[in-house]
Structure formats: structure tokens, C-alpha cells
């Protein structure tokens, strides 16, 4: 009876919870700061919060979770400890290749978008191995990957959105605050940080009420369902897992997973086990930041042009994220993982993406990533750059085809070998690529 009460966050009673349900104290503290537009959007979305969030209920939940953790650790090996919060509430069903097909919570299926082929509109058959811009396949519009660094606050998003009306957007963690601030719409979203879900329920509530595809992990989905009923989800959910850490299965080393990935994963030759996945259904490499996981999602989706926002990295310990204040800033591990995991992950992924014809542009001029990894462009120059590229494409279509001379052939060969653009050459590199 105790387990039935405390382990069913989206049972019948909670599914019919009213919109003005009890909210955790931290989430309630953030609600008054909403703009009138955000408050109207939340009311229209009618987001219900999970009931039973009183102090006594939370205390009983902690006791119940501690008991389950003790039982799990006594009956399972240490290699399965990453799944202790899911057990015994959830089951993950996979196909023969290990891809998630179903997520069952307390005997009830949660609908997943993993089998929806329309999500990857531009990947095609050749894209199954991670290649984008495949001849004969539809070309997807550019994708903006919006992280949460302080530099995001410097971007005039109404102006940028007006200049890029056909572009797609994928956000991570608190980037959804831009929806509440500017009415920005996201097409995709990526959350793999359980701590963010626990501490920013106000943003999670707004996120799951949006019409988008949410890429997340089984444990993150479980944590969301602990706080919101299934009826609150307007978004579609795609479950992915970190490489070597499949839910409710023992851990595996990266090398073993990559060896049976049929070429869809790359294992980097680094001191710390790192890699890059072209098939997120088989798993993603964490890379020390959710932005790196979102970059793997972007490449898997088939977008040939990706623009990085707010990937500052170097100032994470000192400055709050763009949607935070110094008073409510959540702790971060980015400064500790920067040199050993984050920077090497992006550095080794860059040539792989270039080989797959994925062009990545960093719009954070203060990013800790060097220009040799991804060229940097000030966001103010992006509309001009896109207009220049449009004119150049139109000119190429009208100009008669000619055979390149020896000098041009040598320059193309150098580009194919992955030569990096110079600081001065960022503009020319991207104008030609776009």
C-alpha cells in the first residue's frame, strides 16, 4: 500500500489534477517573475503539477526511496547502480539492436516517438550512417542549437528570428526561458540533466506543454513523471540513452559498444573514454555537457548547418546562466570537466562532422572553444552572411558550368583534408559553405 501510494506519480488521481495544483516551494518562487505573456501561455497550456507535494509527503517519499535503494543495492551488482532510481517502477523494452521501443511505468505504456520516421525528414537511407546533405535526399534548413551561457542574453532574438524564419531550433535545459521571454518556438529539445528537472520545475512545466520533440533519457523522463501527470505532455518524447549506461542493464565499456555499432559511433583516442554517435537510438556520448549530446542529436536529424548559441563554457563557474540570477544560480561541473572531457569531445567531433558535411558555426564570441574547432561568427553578421549566401547560390545557378583550374583543385583538396579557417577567414569560409 505504501509503495502504491508513493511510487505512482501519474496515477488516476494525479492524471486528473487541476491546473492550480500544489507546486514545490522553489518552483513557486519563480512563478511571480513570469511576464504577462508567459503567464497567459501557461494558462492556455493548462499545465497540471503533480499533487501530494506537501512537506510530509516529500519526507515519506525520501524514506521510501531510501528503502528501495537499499534493496536494489543488495540485489543488483554495482554495474547497474545507474538504474537504481528506475527500479522497480519502470521497464525499458528494446529491439534486437538495443534501441528503446517502449517505456512502461507501473504497467502502463508511456507513448514514445522513437518509431516516428518523420522526425528525421532529411536523413534518408545514407543518413543512417550519419551523413547529411546526401545527393537525392531533401535538404533540411539550418538548425540553431541554443545552450544557456550568459552570451545568450546579448542576442536580439526577435531580430534574429525575423531574419531566419525558416530555420529550426533545438534547446537544452533552461533555453525554454526564451519562449517565455520572446515567444520563441522550439522544434526540438534535449534534457539529460536530472538536477535541472528537480530544481527548475517551472521551466520543465512550460517545456512539456510545447509542441516539440523532447530528447531525454529514461531516468529524466521518470523524474518528470514524478512531478507532472502524463496528461500534461503536449510534446512528443524520444528516449535515448548514454553509451554504456542502458537503463536497467549493467554498464559496458565504450569500446565494446562502439565495436558492435556498425560504424555509427566513433571512439576517440583520448585519455578519457570519449566519442561521437551518429545513431542516437543506439546511444549518445555525454561529453561533459548536454550541448554535446544535443549536437549528436542535430547531426542525427540530418541538418547540414548548425549554429551554436551560448556555448560559452569558460565562464560557467563565475557567471549565472542567461535565465538565472546570482541568487538562484544552480551549481555546475563544467569548469571541472572542461579540459579533460568537454573540450576534447568537441575538438575530436569537429573533423568527423566536417567529413559528414555538417557545417557548425559558433555564435558565442567568448566561447572557450577555439576557432580551429568551429569557426566563430558574431550573431549580428548572420543575417548578412545568409543573404550573401543566397545571392551566391542564385548566381551559381545562372552562371555556366566551368572546369576548375589547377589552383582551385588544390584549394578544394586542402579543404577536404580538414584545413581550419583562419580568424580572418571565418566569414569567407561560412559564406561559401552556406
Do residues 318 and 327 touch, judged by C-beta distance below 8 A?
no
Residue 428 falls inside a structural domain: no
Chain centroid, CA 227 distance in Å:
21
Residue 22 falls inside a structural domain: yes
Residue 403 has pLDDT above 70, yes or no: no
Residue 340 has pLDDT above 70, yes or no: yes
In the chain, % of residues over pLDDT 90:
52
Q: Is the peptide bond before 49 cis (omega within 30 degrees of 0)?
A: no
Higher confidence at residue 32 or residue 92?
A: 92
Confidence at residue 160, expressed as pLDDT on a 0 to 100 scale:
94
Residue 316 falls inside a structural domain: yes
pLDDT tens per residue across span 131-173? 555 554 558 999 999 999 999 999 999 999 999 999 999 999 9
Residue 238 falls inside a structural domain: yes
Residue 111 falls inside a structural domain: yes
Average pLDDT of 116-131?
63
Say how many domains are in the chain.
1
In the chain, % of residues over pLDDT 70:
74
Among 130, 20, 151, CA closest to 353: 130
Of 10-24, 128-142, 229-243, where does mean pLDDT reach its minimum?
Answer: 10-24
37 pLDDT band (50/70/90 cuts)? low
Residue 415 falls inside a structural domain: no
Confidence at residue 387, expressed as pLDDT on a 0 to 100 scale:
83
Which ranges constitute the DSSP H helices of 183-261?
A: 194-199, 201-208, 218-225, 254-259
Residue 72 has pLDDT above 90, yes or no: no
Confidence at residue 398, expressed as pLDDT on a 0 to 100 scale:
73
Confidence at residue 139, expressed as pLDDT on a 0 to 100 scale:
80
Residue 389 falls inside a structural domain: no
Residue 27 has pLDDT above 50, yes or no: no
Higher confidence at residue 28 or residue 157?
A: 157
Confidence at residue 362, expressed as pLDDT on a 0 to 100 scale:
98
- For the chain, how far is it from start to end, CA to CA, in angstroms? 61
Of 113-117, 151-155, 242-246, 412-416, where does mean pLDDT reach its minimum?
Answer: 412-416
Beta pairing class for 168-172 and 188-191? parallel
**Cell numbers of 252, please?**
559496458
17 pLDDT band (50/70/90 cuts)? very low
Query: What residue has cell string 561541473?
Result: 333
Q: Indicate the pTM of the whole model.
A: 0.79
**Range with top average pLDDT, 84-98, 125-139, 168-182, 398-412:** 168-182
Confidence at residue 203, expressed as pLDDT on a 0 to 100 scale:
96
Among 241, 242, 274, CA closest to 255: 274
Q: What span, in angstroms and rounded, lies between the C-alpha atoms of 147 and 175?
A: 6
Q: What is the DSSP string of 22-75?
A: ---HHHHHHGGG--HHHHHHHHHHT-PPPS--SHHHHHHHHHHHHHHHHHHHHH
Distances (CA, A) of 269 to 251, 274, 345, 358, 412: 20, 8, 11, 22, 28
Backbone CA torsion sign across 245, 250, 254, 259? negative
Confidence at residue 134, expressed as pLDDT on a 0 to 100 scale:
52
Query: Whole domain around residue 273: which residue ranges?
Result: 2-382
Mean pLDDT of the chain: 81
Of 39-53, 128-142, 201-215, 344-358, where does mean pLDDT reach its minimum?
Answer: 39-53
Among 374, 48, 368, 427, CA closest to 206: 48
Higher confidence at residue 146 or residue 3?
A: 146
70 pLDDT band (50/70/90 cuts)? confident
Residue 110 has pLDDT above 60, yes or no: yes
97 pLDDT band (50/70/90 cuts)? confident
Do residues 302 and 128 touch, judged by C-beta distance below 8 A?
no
Confidence at residue 31, expressed as pLDDT on a 0 to 100 scale:
41
pLDDT tens per residue across span 269-318? 888 889 999 999 999 999 999 999 999 999 999 999 999 999 999 888 88
Q: How many degrees, rounded to 5, is the angle at CA 348 between CA 347 and CA 349? A: 95
Widest distance between CA atoms in the chain: 79
Average pLDDT of 14-31?
41
**Range with top average pLDDT, 76-90, 241-255, 395-409:** 241-255
Higher confidence at residue 56 or residue 224?
A: 224
Amino acid at each position: 500500500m505504501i509503495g502504491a501510494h508513493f511510487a505512482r506519480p501519474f496515477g488516476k488521481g494525479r492524471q486528473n489534477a487541476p491546473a492550480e495544483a500544489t507546486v514545490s516551494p522553489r518552483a513557486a518562487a519563480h512563478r511571480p517573475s513570469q511576464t504577462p505573456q508567459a503567464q497567459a501561455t501557461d494558462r492556455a497550456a493548462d499545465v497540471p503539477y503533480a499533487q501530494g507535494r506537501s512537506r510530509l509527503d516529500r519526507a515519506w517519499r525520501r524514506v521510501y526511496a531510501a528503502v528501495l535503494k537499499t534493496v536494489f543495492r543488495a540485489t543488483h551488482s554495482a554495474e547497474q547502480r545507474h538504474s537504481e532510481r528506475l527500479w522497480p517502477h519502470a521497464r525499458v523494452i528494446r529491439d534486437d539492436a538495443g534501441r528503446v521501443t517502449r517505456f512502461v511505468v507501473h504497467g502502463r505504456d508511456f507513448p514514445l516517438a522513437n518509431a516516428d520516421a518523420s522526425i528525421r525528414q532529411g536523413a534518408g537511407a545514407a543518413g543512417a550512417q550519419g551523413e547529411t546533405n546526401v545527393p537525392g535526399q531533401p535538404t533540411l534548413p539550418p538548425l540553431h542549437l541554443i545552450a544557456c551561457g550568459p552570451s545568450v542574453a546579448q542576442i536580439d532574438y526577435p531580430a534574429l528570428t525575423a531574419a531566419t524564419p525558416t530555420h529550426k531550433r533545438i534547446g537544452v535545459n533552461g533555453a525554454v526561458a526564451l519562449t517565455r521571454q520572446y515567444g520563441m518556438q522550439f522544434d526540438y529539445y534535449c534534457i539529460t540533466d536530472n538536477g535541472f528537472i528537480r530544481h527548475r520545475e517551472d521551466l520543465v512545466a512550460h517545456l512539456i506543454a510545447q509542441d516539440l520533440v523532447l530528447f531525454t533519457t529514461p531516468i529524466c523522463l521518470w523524474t518528470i513523471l514524478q512531478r507532472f501527470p502524463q496528461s500534461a505532455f503536449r510534446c512528443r518524447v524520444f528516449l535515448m540513452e548514454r553509451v554504456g549506461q542502458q537503463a536497467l542493464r549493467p554498464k559496458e565499456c565504450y569500446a565494446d559498444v562502439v565495436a558492435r555499432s556498425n560504424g555509427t559511433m566513433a571512439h576517440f583516442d583520448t585519455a578519457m573514454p570519449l566519442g561521437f554517435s551518429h545513431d542516437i537510438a543506439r546511444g549518445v556520448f555525454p561529453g561533459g555537457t548536454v550541448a554535446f549530446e544535443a549536437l549528436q542529436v542535430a547531426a542525427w536529424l540530418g541538418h547540414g548547418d548548425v549554429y551554436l548559441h551560448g556555448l560559452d563554457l569558460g565562464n560557467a563557474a563565475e557567471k549565472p546562466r542567461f535565465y538565472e540570477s546570482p541568487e538562484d544560480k544552480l551549481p555546475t561541473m563544467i569548469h571541472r570537466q572542461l579540459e579533460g572531457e568537454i573540450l576534447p569531445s568537441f575538438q575530436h567531433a569537429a573533423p568527423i562532422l566536417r567529413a559528414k558535411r555538417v557545417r557548425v558555426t559558433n555564435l558565442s564570441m567568448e566561447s572557450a572553444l577555439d576557432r580551429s574547432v568551429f569557426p566563430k561568427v558574431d550573431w549580428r553578421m548572420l543575417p548578412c552572411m545568409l543573404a550573401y549566401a543566397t545571392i551566391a547560390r542564385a548566381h551559381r545557378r545562372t552562371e555556366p558550368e566551368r572546369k576548375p583550374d589547377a589552383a582551385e583543385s588544390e584549394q578544394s583538396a586542402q579543404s577536404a583534408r580538414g584545413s581550419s579557417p583562419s580568424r580572418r577567414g571565418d566569414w569567407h569560409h561560412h559564406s561559401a559553405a552556406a
